[in-house]
Amino acid sequence: MAAEIVNPRSDSDNTTESGADEPFDPAFALHRGGKMAVQATVPIRDKDDLSLAYTPGVAKVCSAIAEQPELVHDYTWKSQVVAVVTDGTAVLGLGDIGPEASLPVMEGKAILFKQFGGVDAVPIALATTDTDEIVETVVRLAPSFGGVNLEDISAPRCFEIERRLQERLDIPVFHDDQHGTAVVTLAALRNAAKLTGRGLGDLRAVISGAGAAGVAIAKFLLEAGLGDVAVADRKGIVSRDREDLTPVKRELAELTNRAGLSGSLESALAGADVFIGVSGGTVPEPAVASMAPGAFVFAMANPNPEVHPDVAHKYAAVVATGRSDYPNQINNVLAFPGIFAGALQVRASRITEGMKIAAANALADVVGDQLAADYVIPSPFDERVAPAVTAAVAAAARAEGVARR
């Protein structure tokens, strides 16, 4: 059944085609005509300007780039623009809604790149869900861009698409649903541990959700030094004794769950230090109550967290969600603009684990001496965030030898 559309009109139109008044919906008013446009960075005021911006002046630049391909970074927009690529199969909480319906989200992502990182971005919604076709299409588009941000592509295809693209391209390829979420989660977890006098190695976590975000968070937290983590899907804990695992989950089982847990998510939460929700659904209150004293609850499903903050605060020392109307919002916009800005600044060939860990540490450090239970992660509107993440990522890229300037 199609979703009901409430008054998709401009704010100057107060009636429907039938003439009946309808309530004003600001979301439709804001989106009418799209949320972005192309704007020239040089003036064309007369024939002299035209002859420099286009023919014949442009031919000199083209010829120079043909002779020295690296000049493309200096004389085009390549070094400051990212392709935001989707197939529309895993859009926000809406699922597989297709490429056209995904465009408002991709436009939104593009303007977040610009607003929070000073990075230009172009939405590209592809009319295919075939892994080979997506890879080949992006490879052919890549000469126009300095980086590729994969967005809202369903698991497990997203893992293979990212891996194959990075193998073939010498520009950063970054699946934000995986890595952006993981970076911000690590930053919040570092500060929560610091607040309660513990280290990452002291913590056992349970993740609800074995999709793109859940898998990436688990691997990244272990890389950063987390003591242990178990991941649960719809059938329970991902463990080595399960025979129904996909190749991605089989690999995950080899890396996680050092305690050898099996059974349900709820049973795994008994005595756990951290709950991380990236799945939706509801965790029963008794399961939350069974967690270790001083636990952390990061319930990130939107719009309804897996554990309502009112419930979480009864038992947890630190509570975070994905929502903007509660403290400690774990929001990817804290990470991806600065990560790409730093990578583009040094013309990095890829985004490494070290660069992501540097981003998480920089993000956590922004909180500084203001650290408190309701402030373990900064606001997306904190103007210190993007510069701090950008500088840390650029420095890490140089240190790891993936920077080209």
Cα dist from 151 to 84, 91, 146, 238, 361, whole Å: 7, 8, 16, 25, 24
- Measured between alpha carbons, how far is 46 from 51 in angstroms, rounded to an integer? 9
Q: What's 118's DSSP letter? A: -
Q: Is 375 an annotated catalytic residue?
A: no
Task: List strands edge to edge, sheet with 81-86.
Answer: 120-125, 81-86, 147-150, 173-175
Residue type, 289: A
Residue 81: name the closest of 113, 125, 54, 109 by CA. Answer: 113
Is 383 annotated to bind a ligand? Reply is: no
- Measured between alpha carbons, how far is 170 from 6 in angstroms, rounded to an integer? 45
Helix (H, G, I), strand (E, B) or coil at 275: strand
Is 191 annotated to bind a ligand? Reply is: no
Q: Is 54 an annotated catalytic residue?
A: yes
- Measured between alpha carbons, how far is 366 from 190 in angstroms, rounded to an integer? 12
- Measured between alpha carbons, how far is 355 from 337 in angstroms, rounded to an integer? 13
Cβ-contact 42, 83 below 8 angstroms: no
Is 328 annotated to bind a ligand? Reply is: no
Cα dist from 48 to 45, 53, 57, 131, 301, whole Å: 8, 9, 10, 47, 55
Q: How many other β-carbons are positioned within 10 Å of the β-carbon of residue 230?
A: 25
Please name the residues in contact with 317: beta carbons below 8 A apart, sequence gap of 6 or more.
192, 195, 196, 294, 295, 296, 373
What are the DSSP E strand ranges found in 78-201?
Answer: 81-86, 120-125, 147-150, 173-175
Is 151 annotated to bind a ligand? Reply is: yes
Please pick, among 54, 60, 114, 314, the residue that the annotation labels catalytic: 54
Please pick, among 78, 109, 219, 249, the residue that the annotation labels catalytic: 109
CA 239 to chain centroid, in Å, comes to: 27
Please name the residues in contact with 54: beta carbons below 8 A apart, sequence gap of 6 or more.
none
Is 25 annotated to bind a ligand? Reply is: no
Residue 335: name the closest of 81, 157, 109 by CA. Answer: 109
Q: Which residues are catalytic?
A: 54, 109
Q: Extract the annotated binding site for (S)-malate.
A: 302, 331
Q: Extract the annotated binding site for a divalent metal cation.
A: 151-152, 177
Q: Extract the annotated binding site.
A: 151-152, 177, 302, 331
